[in-house]
Structure 1
Amino acid sequence: MSKSEEQESSKIWGAFSLVSALLAATVARKGLNASWKAATGKEPPANPADPDVAMREALLWAAVSGTLIAVVRMLATRRAADYYARSTGKLPPGLRADA
């Protein structure tokens, strides 16, 4: 593969992985907000750093939302990489196994 083809492939993969991760994070955030409201009866904290938000609530929200969104984004990126690999016959740039 020529350098320009590899750069083009890298750009395509970058855009594809970014869009899939952002969509997954958006869906996860909506589900998380609804789950939080169902479990606590309150809206999730808009800004956990706000001193008016109870420390326990801020810590719990930060831990749960951060973990869930990171996991969902990782899963979305893995699915995107799998699709990319099936479409092109090779792993995306940056995910190729070390020799």
Structure 2
Amino acid sequence: MKPQTLWTIVGTSTAVLSGVVARQSLKQTFRKGVFEPPINPDEDDVEWRQALLWGAASGMAVGMARIVGWKLASAGMRRTRRSRRGQRLLARLED
């Protein structure tokens, strides 16, 4: 496996996972404090304020979580490449 392919797999999976976790935790926070997050903002019973607030909050939280996920994956890959054990593992994966 090429190093670029390995990085793409690790970085993307970390970013996706952190985005999912952020969205689920934001849903729980909204349910406890503000309102029930709208499943479909286009429904008639959803107010504009709720739809806009949920869209802005979830977009920002998921975007930030994805960036943090990419940065953590990048730092982990750098640490792995620096250690002897990590170099052996990466050599096996690259074959």
| TM-score of the aligned structures, taking structure 1 as reference length | 0.75
Count residues in correspondence: 82
Which runs of 5 or more residues in structure 2 are unaligned?
Answer: 83-95
Calculate the aligned-residue CA RMSD, in Å: 1.5
Please name the residue that 2:4 is paired with. 10
Once the two structures are aligned, what percentage of the paired residues are identical? 30
Give CA deviations for 1:24-63 in whole Å, capped at 9, x if unaligned.
11111111000000112x4211122334311111110000
Relative contact order (alpha carbons < 8 A, sep ≥ 6): 1 or 2 greater?
A: 2
- The residue identity in structure 2 corresponding to 1:49 is D
Residue among 13, 38, 56 paired with 1:63: 56
TM-score by length of 2: 0.78
**Structure 2 residue aligned with 1:93:** none
Matches within 5 A, 1:17-96: 17-40=11-34, 42-89=35-82
